[in-house]
């Protein structure tokens, strides 16, 4: 515990307190755990304030993030609170416990070490008995508290998968964004309610389908009437993110988008979840699950379309559907227009061609109107895969010879890693020492911050050196067999004569077709 001159300073200036109460409830917080409810957090903080005389004349401002996860700082109220600290509106922050600020070590550390010190702001976490002015914690103690939070967060992730399935089976709507035609209920968690404006557009599309229009014709009609697409509608209503947009500034309906609405059974009131699974862990690549794995709950929300209308629209749509576009051709969803960025339309049963269909729906872009045969694209892709794998083989062989020639032994590398780790630890300790000097008034804030920056930069350098050495060690340990395996795979690709969908999916991210002469391949980052 250190004597703290600033605490004294504040005790004599009680009327100056402008307190920001930061209240947060996350989706993962068990709704049954009432202690985490906003009301209870507020009550706890208010009773804390009223039991401390120094806050008698304080002004109190609530900052509430409802349904926000603790694992990121992308929270509106939190960001607003930080701005208010910065501009001096708030000089004291009170929370129920540290995990309200975040469950991530770096974020909380950054807040306490940089922000609050810089702006001379008091920080109180009631349940952690933490008051930044009265009992300044060392870096280390803080890290311990936070580490506990992080572990808690990991447990939570496991728990939340099982509780997610329970919620799915109850018909709860768990996506971040409401289905077009609906909005998320403001009174009931995970519940969809009809958004009358967008629901009107959905009904219009279904009735056009029942009247015998194809998806393409429907898209033309609703584009002409300037009906907003789902992403545009969200943007107009101030909802950001959630929908991958090809062109940020211009949205239009095409047959795929119309079909997506017309084939979505959730409009009949069914809650349907578990439709996708993550294909590549940690990445946003998802794939469809087979329909028998879906979790379907009838009457999960109010229907926009009756079951009868849905079936009628489906039958009409299937009749009107362009027959020869099997979804499982080798270039499914890979061939893109260089101008508008959309997937090119494939047509022709015996000699399929790709052509951009966007001009059917809008004249906003000036898409190239040439039609390129699948055979030509296949030839180009095969040729490119050969060249690409040849280049990768060269790279892998270089790695292999580097390993063989490495003049450092395992023991030498291990020794160097240990040395780097030791100096990182010493540097981290020195930050704590400087922080102690800062809070005890022996060091100025400017000196502290500049020292901290220099030390942090050195730590970052040391960390990347450690990383490099670790990779080097791994390469020696498992490297040779892994590289041999990669080389074997690449050698089969180098000899490829015929494409299949798995190979294309594995190697190719997209194929941008300008014309027969110019075909650009963007590789997936598999190798």
Q: Give 100 or 355: the residue with its C-beta nearer to Zn ion.
A: 355
CB of 290 to Zn ion, least distance (A): 32
- State which residue, 82 or 344, has the beta carbon closest to Zn ion: 344
- Closest to 317 in 3D by CA, of 172, 245, 211, 204: 211
Taking each helix axis as running N to C, give the angle between helix 480-494 and helix 374-405, from 0 to 180 degrees, rounded to the nearest 10.
150
Sketch the per residue contact string, 34 through 73, with Zn ion: x for CB under 5 A, - otherwise. Answer: ----------------------------------------
Nearest Cα residue to 489 out of 396, 381, 379, 377: 396
384 contacts 521 by C-beta, under 8 angstroms: yes
Closest contact distance (angstroms) between CB of 356 and Zn ion is: 3
Structure tokens at 175: 């996506």
Block residue for tokens 């939570």: 156
Residue with tokens 């496991």: 158
Query: Quick one: how far is CA 189 from the chain centroid?
Result: 21
Cβ-contact 183, 196 below 8 angstroms: no
Q: How many residues bind Zn ion (CB under 5 A)?
A: 6
Shortest Å distance, C-beta 336 to Zn ion: 8
CB of 347 to Zn ion, least distance (A): 15
CB of 237 to Zn ion, least distance (A): 28
Judged by CB, which is closer to Zn ion: 181, or 357? 357
Closer residue to Zn ion in complex, CB, 337/459: 337
Residue placing its CB nearer to Zn ion in the complex, 38 or 339: 339
Question: Which DSSP string do the residues of 371-384 spell out, in sequence order?
Answer: -EEHHHHHHHHHHH
Nearer to Zn ion among residue 239 and residue 512 (C-beta): 512
In the complex, least distance from residue 337 CB atom to Zn ion, rounded to whole angstroms: 3
* Tokens, residue 145: 């508290």
Nearer to Zn ion, 341 or 352 (CB): 341
How far apart are CB 354 and Zn ion at their closest, in Å?
11
- Residue closer to Zn ion (CB basis): 339 or 427: 339
Provide, rounded to whole angstroms, the least separation between the CB of residue 377 and Zn ion: 16
CA angle 208, 343, 237 (to 5 degrees): 60
Q: How far is the CB of 365 from Zn ion (least distance, A)?
A: 6
Nearer to Zn ion, 18 or 246 (CB): 246
Which residue in the block uniquely carries the two structure tokens 């804030």?
445
Q: What is the DSSP annotation of 407-476? A: -S-HHHHHHHHHHHHHHHHHHHHHHHHHHHHHHTTSS-HHHHHHHHHHHHHHHHHHHHHHHHHHHHHHII
> Distance between CA 70 and CA 78 in Å, rounded?
11
Output 44 or 337, the one with its CB closest to Zn ion: 337
The residue (of 338 and 352) whose beta carbon lies closer to Zn ion is 338
Q: How far is the CB of 369 from Zn ion (least distance, A)?
A: 9
Distance CA 411, CA 432 (A): 32
Enclosing H/E stretch for 483: helix 480-494
| Of 456, 435, 493, the residue nearest 141 (C-alpha) | 435
Tell the smallest beta-carbon distance from residue 252 to Zn ion (Å). Answer: 11
The full DSSP string for 1-63 is ----HHHHHHHTTGGG-EEEEEEEE-TTS-TT-GGGSHHHHHHHHHHHHHT-GGGTT-EEEEE
Do 277 and 286 meet the contact criterion of CB atoms below 8 Å apart? yes
What's the min distance (Å) between Cβ of 187 and Zn ion? 44
Closest to Zn ion by CB, 250 or 322: 250
Over the window 326 to 365, marking each residue x when it contacts Zn ion by CB under 5 A and - when it does not, the resulting string is -----------x-xx---------------x-x-------
- What is the distance between the alpha carbons of residues 297 and 317, in angstroms, rounded to a whole number? 25
For the segment 100-119, give every residue that binds Zn ion (CB under 5 A). none
Six-digit token string for 295: 């979790």
- Quote the CA–CA distance of 456 and 109 in Å, as a whole number: 13
Q: Enumerate residues 6+ apart whose C-beta is below 8 A from 289.
A: 274, 275, 276, 277
Q: Decide: is 367 part of the binding site for Zn ion (CB under 5 A).
A: yes
- Give the residue carrying structure tokens 């991210």: 509
Give the Cα separation of 62 and 74 in Å (integer): 18
What residues numbered 495-524 form the site for Zn ion, per CB under 5 A?
A: none
To the nearest whole angstrom, how small is the minimum distance from the Cβ of residue 368 to Zn ion? 7
Q: Which is nearer to Zn ion, 339 or 382 (CB)?
A: 339
Which of 404, 420, 518, 521 lies closest to 467, judged by CA?
420
Per CB under 5 A, residues contacting Zn ion are 337, 339-340, 356, 358, 367
């Amino acid at each position: 515990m250190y004597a703290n001159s600033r605490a004294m300073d504040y005790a004599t200036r009680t009327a100056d307190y402008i307190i920001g109460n930061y209240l947060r409830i996350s989706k993962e917080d068990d709704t049954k755990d009432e202690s985490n409810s906003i009301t209870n957090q507020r009550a706890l903080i208010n009773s804390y304030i009223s039991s401390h005389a120094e806050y008698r004349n304080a002004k109190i401002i609530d900052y509430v993030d409802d349904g926000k996860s603790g694992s990121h700082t992308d929270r509106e109220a939190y960001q607003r609170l930080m701005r208010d600290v910065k501009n001096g509106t708030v000089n004291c922050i009170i929370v129920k416990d540290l995990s309200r600020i975040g469950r991530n070590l770096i974020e909380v550390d950054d807040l306490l070490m940089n922000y609050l010190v810089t702006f001379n702001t008091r920080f109180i976490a009631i349940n952690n008995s933490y008051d930044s002015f009265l009992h300044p914690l060392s870096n280390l103690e803080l890290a311990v508290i936070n580490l506990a939070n992080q572990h808690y967060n990991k447990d939570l992730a496991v728990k939340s998968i099982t509780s997610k399935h329970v919620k799915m089976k109850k018909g709860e709507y768990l996506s971040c964004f409401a289905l077009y035609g609906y909005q998320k209920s403001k009174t009931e968690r995970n519940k969809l309610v009809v958004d009358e404006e967008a629901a009107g557009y959905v009904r219009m599309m279904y009735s056009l389908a029942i009247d015998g229009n194809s998806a393409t014709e429907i898209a033309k009609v609703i584009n002409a009437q300037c009906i907003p697409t789902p992403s545009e509608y969200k943007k107009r209503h101030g909802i950001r993110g959630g929908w991958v947009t090809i062109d940020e500034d211009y949205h239009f309906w095409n047959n795929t988008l119309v079909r997506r609405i017309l084939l979505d059974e959730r409009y009949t009131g069914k809650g349907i979840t578990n439709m996708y699974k993550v294909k590549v862990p940690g990445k946003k690549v998802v794939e469809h699950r087979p329909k028998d794995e879906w979790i379907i709950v009838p009457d999960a929300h109010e229907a926009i379309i009756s079951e009868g209308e849905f079936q009628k629209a489906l039958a009409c749509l299937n009749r009107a559907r362009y027959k020869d576009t099997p979804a499982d051709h080798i270039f499914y969803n890979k061939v893109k227009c260089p101008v508008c960025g959309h997937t090119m339309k494939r047509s022709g049963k015996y000699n399929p061609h790709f052509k951009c269909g966007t001009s059917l729906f809008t004249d906003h872009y000036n898409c190239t109107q040439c039609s390129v045969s699948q055979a030509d694209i296949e030839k180009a892709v095969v040729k490119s895969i050969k060249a690409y794998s040849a280049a990768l083989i060269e790279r892998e062989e270089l790695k292999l010879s580097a390993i063989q020639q490495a003049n450092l032994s395992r023991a030498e590398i291990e020794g160097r890693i240990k040395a780097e780790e030791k100096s990182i630890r010493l540097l981290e300790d020195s930050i704590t020492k400087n922080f102690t000097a800062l809070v005890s008034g022996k060091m100025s804030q400017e000196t502290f911050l500049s020292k901290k920056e220099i030390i942090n930069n050195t730590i970052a350098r040391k960390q990347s050196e450690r990383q490099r050495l670790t990779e080097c060690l791994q390469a020696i340990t498992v490297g040779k067999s892994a590289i041999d395996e990669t080389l074997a795979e690449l050698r089969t690709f180098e000899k490829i004569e015929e494409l299949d969908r798995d190979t294309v999916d594995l190697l190719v991210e997209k194929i941008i077709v300008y014309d027969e002469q110019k075909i650009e391949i963007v590789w997936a980052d598999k190798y």
